[in-house]
Amino acid sequence: MSIALLLGLALAHAAPDCPPAAAKPPACFERAWPKLTFSQPIWFGMNDGQSYVVERAGRIHQLGAEDSATTTIVADLTDRVHSKRQEEGLLGIAFHPKDTRVYLYYTAASPKRGVLSEFAFKNGQLDATSERIMLEVRQPYPNHNGGALLFDKTGMLLLSLGDGGAANDPHGHGQNPQSLLGTVLRLDVEGRPYAIPGDNPFASGGPGRPEVWAWGLRNVWRIGDDPLTGELWAGDVGQNKWEEVNRLAGSRNYGWNIREGSACFRDRKCTTTGLTEPVHVYGREEGVSITMGPVYRGTAFPSLVGSPLFGDFGSGKVWALCQASSGLKAQLVADSTLHPAHFGTDANQEIVLVHLVGDPTEREGALFRLSERCSP
Peptide bond into 47 cis (omega under 30): no
- List helix spans (H) across the chain: 3-13
Which domains, and CATH codes, for the chain?
A: 34-371 (2.120.10.30)
Q: What is the pLDDT of residue 277?
A: 97
Query: For the chain, which ranges sit under pLDDT 50?
Result: 1-12, 376
Q: What is the pLDDT of residue 13?
A: 58
**Strand boundaries in 139-289, DSSP class E:** 149-151, 157-161, 183-187, 212-215, 220-225, 232-236, 243-248, 252-253, 259-260, 263-264, 280-282
Q: What is the pLDDT of residue 326?
A: 82
CB atoms within 10 A of CB 299: 10
User: What pTM value is reported for the model?
Assistant: 0.94
Q: What is the pLDDT of residue 227?
A: 96
How confident is the model over 205-258, as pLDDT tens digits? 989 999 999 999 999 999 999 999 999 999 999 999 999 999 999 999 999 999
